[in-house]
Amino acid sequence: MLAYILRRLLLIIPTLFGILLINFIIIQAAPGGPVEQMIAKLEGFDSAAGGATGRISGGGGEVSVAGSNYRGAQGLDPELVKEIERMYGFDKPAPERFWIMLKNYLRLDFGSSFFRDAKVTDLIVEKMPVSISLGLWSTLIMYLVSIPLGIAKATRHGSTFDLWTSTAIIVGYAIPAFLFAILLIVLFAGGSYWDWFPLRGLTSNNFDELSLGGKILDYFWHLTLPVTALVIGNFATLTLLTKNSFLDEINKQYVVTARAKGLTERRVLYGHVFRNAMLIIIAGFPAAFIGIFFTGSLLIEVIFSLDGLGLMSFEAAINRDYPVVFGTLFIFTLVGLLVKLIGDITYTLVDPRIDFESREG
């Protein structure tokens, strides 16, 4: 097992390299980079102002701008364009920029945002509480609801309970999470009916003045609607997966043998079936957690005015803020690969019979 973990850790290096390289090539080919955006902004500013003087900053540097830099139909002065390219690091060829980026990442230096005037790591730390809150609680509640519900549906397959819960699951699967979010706002956040929950932020403005218990209540008060929307919009697949996995195991021969020996249904279900049926659930946990944690909450963040990692990554991609794009890509990919490895290790904890070192001819 130790050798397997070591190989997986070493495999992370070429995987990260390949993902960064592919995305670097794609982004370099996309039009409208930071240099083009700055040139367009300066041309519009200078032509509208009839000549202006000042300094612009970005990408860890700044250049001076004078009214004479803009020359009408000829565009900006080529020297100013070169200064802008130098400011954003585009005065070097693409392979050299990629190599510099890799060396910086090995030192955990992700650079500074082109447009936010802050380091990428500081931005991630600043946005992390929102994404951790949404991802952690929604995933935890989703598993706590879906697994017992899936087991109950499997043991009552074909009953009235199974029928009605399947109807609720189909509704949850068919309607996206952001539509549930809008519905919750209309019902409970002052839309048309009740005004029970806040609509903006992770905490109240007077959060620092509250007692410890008041802070905890205020925190969950703000999280109730967005987490509920995420859970309702995502629990259907996991519930059905749990049900089908348990149904498949319940019909196997070893379950019949266990019942024939006189074991109770509870002992058969949780002593034998549970361990085997939960393998596929555990396999999907890392992908579910990473998906909700980093990407699935984008629209929820927008609807509930929560400034988290999902919204920051989306804005960075739109604005071609390359340090933020690649910094978050590196961190998210690394975390995802490590969590996937943890999921594989958990396999062996649930079922010690699994041996990643064994190979069949």
Are residue 271 and residue 248 in the same domain, yes or no? yes
Please report whether residue 185 resides in a domain: yes
Q: Residue 33 above 80 pLDDT?
A: no
Cβ neighbour number for residue 359 with a 10 Å cutoff = 6
Greater model confidence, 62 or 181: 181
What average pLDDT does this structure show over 15-44? 80
Q: 70 or 117: which carries more pLDDT confidence? A: 117
Same domain, 145 and 269: yes
Q: Report the 10 Å Cβ neighbour count for 343.
A: 16
149/273 same-domain check: yes
**pLDDT tens, 290-338?**
666 655 577 888 888 888 887 888 888 888 888 888 888 888 888 878 8
Residue tagged 């978050």 (tokens)? 328
Give the least confident one: 96-110, 144-158, 247-261, 281-295: 281-295
Q: For 166-173, which contacts have Cβ atoms below 8 Å and span 24 or more sequence positions?
A: 169/235, 169/236, 169/239, 169/240, 170/236, 172/232, 172/233, 172/235, 172/236, 173/236, 173/237
What does the alpha-carbon distance between residue 151 and residue 149 come to, in Å, rounded to a whole number?
5
What does the pLDDT read at residue 70?
47
Model confidence over 194-242: pLDDT tens digits? Answer: 888 888 888 888 888 888 888 899 899 988 999 998 888 778 888 888 8
Contact present, 279 and 351 (Cβ < 8 Å): yes
Return the C-alpha torsion angle 340, 309, 23, 81, nearest 10. Answer: -160
Is the pLDDT confidence value at 265 over 60? yes
Q: What are phi and psi of 92, to 5 degrees?
A: -110, 155
The answer to whether position 356 is within a domain reads no
Residue where a domain terminates, one of 106, 139, 169: 106
Does this model's pTM top 0.95? My answer is no
Residues 224 and 338 in one domain: yes
**Angle at the Cα of 64 (from 60 to 67), degrees rounded to 5?**
145
Q: In angstroms, rounded to a whole number, what is the distance separating the alpha carbons of residues 27 and 33?
A: 9
Asked whether residue 202 falls in the same domain as residue 297, the answer is yes
Are 41 and 24 in the same domain? no
Secondary structure element (H or E) that encloses residue 62, with its range: strand 61-65
- Domain ends where: 106, 132, 147? 106
- Looking at residue 201, what DSSP letter applies? S
Same domain as 230, residue 268:
yes
Higher pLDDT residue, 276 or 145?
A: 145
Whether 115 is covered by a domain: the verdict is no
The CATH number for 212's domain is 1.10.3720.10
69 and 185 belong to one structural domain: no
In a domain, 271, yes or no: yes
Residue 19: domain span:
1-30
Q: Is 228 among the domain residues?
A: yes
| Token output for 41 | 């902004």
Are residues 7 and 53 located together in one domain of the fold? no
Is residue 361, in this structure, part of any structural domain at all? no
253 shares its domain with 305: yes
Q: Kindly state whether residue 359 falls inside one of the protein's structural domains.
A: no
- How many whole angstroms separate alpha carbon 203 and alpha carbon 219? 6
- Same-domain pairing of 81 and 175: no
Residue where a domain terminates, one of 82, 106, 130: 106
**Judgement on whether residues 279 and 229 belong to the same structural domain of the protein:** yes
Q: Based on the structure, what is the number of domains in the chain?
A: 3
Query: pLDDT band at 48, cuts 50/70/90?
Result: very low
- Which residues, including other chains, have CB under 8 Å from residue 55's CB and lie 6 or more apart? 62, 63, 64, 65
